[in-house]
Amino acid sequence: MAEEGRKLGVSMDFSKGSKAALKWAVDGLLRKGDTLVIIHVKHPQALESRNLIWSDTGSPLIPLSEFCDPEVMHSYGVEREPDVFDLLDVISKQLQVNVVWKIYWGDARERVCEAAGSLHLDTLIMGSRGLGSIKRVLLGSVTSYVLEHATCPVTVVKDRSHEC
C-alpha cells in the first residue's frame, strides 16, 4: 500500500523571510508525493469584484501550472517573482511535488491560521521578518500570532542572508 504524501503549507508574501522559508522547505523537508500549498494573503482592499465569491473562504486551490498563466496571476493581483516561480517549477517536476496556490484576503494572522485548519496541513512553514521588540509590540507579529493559534506544527525560518 502506497503511503499518501503530506500536505505542507508555506506562507508566501514574497519577502526575504518567506522566500527563505520556501527554500528551507525545499532543501530539507519536501519529498516525492507531497503537496505544497503556497498560502498568499492579500490586503482586503485588493479584493476585486470578480473575486468577491472567494472573500470568505479564499480562492480555490490553484495548480501551479494554471497559476503561472499571466492572466490568472493578474486576475488574483499577484505579480510573477521569477526566483519563487522557477523554484516551484523545479520542485514540482524534479521532486514530483504537487504545488498549489491558495489566495486569501484579509488579516494575514487570521487567514494563515484559517488556512492551516481548513486545509488540514501537516505543518506550516513561514518566514520571520525579524522585527525588533518595539516594532513587534506596536505592529504585532503575524508569526507570533500564528505560532500561538495555528492548528498544526509551525516552523519559523529566519532570513540569514544579512548575517556574517
Cβ atoms of 101 and 68 within 8 Å: the answer is no
Q: Per the structure block, which three cell numbers stand in for 7?
A: 500536505
| Distance separating alpha carbons of residues 51 and 16, to the nearest angstrom | 28
Residue with the larger pLDDT of the pair 146 and 158: 146
Residue with the larger pLDDT of the pair 18 and 138: 18
The 10s digit of each residue's pLDDT in 111-153 is 999 999 999 999 999 998 655 555 444 445 788 889 899 999 9
β 62-63/35-42 pair status: unpaired
The 10s digit of each residue's pLDDT in 76-94 is 889 999 999 999 999 999 9
For residue 98, how many other CB atoms are within 10 A of its CB? Answer: 15
Please name each of the domains of the chain with its CATH number: 10-158 (3.40.50.620)
3 state SS of 108: helix
